[in-house]
Structure 1
Amino acid sequence: MERTHVVTVDGGLHARPAAQLVAEAARQPVPVTIRTATRGPVSAASILGVMTLGAMPGDTVVLSTETDDEQASATLDALVAFLERAGAS
């Protein structure tokens, strides 16, 4: 299961927003990977992995789970909602 999101965080997924995303991903019940068009996938719960993506404003990221159930859907929805809030602040 996948969700896509266009990065809107000023400066992209640099240290602080990456750390916040990783913390949010670590709280979720389903493991998630994240990738860009050119890098990844990496664990969304890995600060080094997320930062190595180099996701900048305007880049599309893809969040994925290996499972395809309600829990996976809710997890992906929560992470996309987090990214949307982070981009709005």
Structure 2
Amino acid sequence: MIEKNFNVIDEAGVHARPASVLVNVANDYKSEIKIIYKEKTANLKSILGVMALGIPFGEGFTITAEGTDEVEAVKELEETLKTERLVNA
């Protein structure tokens, strides 16, 4: 299992547009991918789960991946977070 921590820099937090982009990226992988915020966990392949976490500006969260393509999944998700300007490059 791989896990990576991030801090939200977008003043709108993790809102609908970038969340949907993350979900689309996560769905390209076979690994089980989760997003964790304040002891709440959601499947990163579910837009409803991600949005339900309500991660605001300035807060930290963790992405975990477990499976055959976990390394590639986390790398692409990190790049997507940077491209969407949700986290620092």
TM-score (norm. length: structure 1) = 0.83
Q: Provide the identity percentage.
A: 28
One-letter amino acid of the structure 2 residue matched with residue 82 of structure 1? T
Q: 1:24 to 1:50 in 2, by over 3 A?
A: same
Cα deviation digits, residues 4-61 of structure 1 (max 9, x gap): 11112340111111111111111123220001124x2110010110001111121111
Structure 2: gaps of 5 or more residues: none
Map 1:10-89 → 2, pairs under 5 A: 10-38=11-39, 40-67=40-67, 71-87=69-85
Which structure has the highest strand share of the two?
2
- Please identify runs of 4+ aligned residues in structure 1 that moved more than 4 A: none
Structure 1: gaps of 5 or more residues: none
Q: Distance in 2 between matches of 1:87 and 1:8?
A: 7
Q: Distance in 1 between matches of 2:60 and 2:42?
A: 15
Number of corresponding residues: 85
Say which is worse superposed, 4-13 or 43-52, in terms of deviation.
Answer: 4-13
Q: CA RMSD in A?
A: 1.7
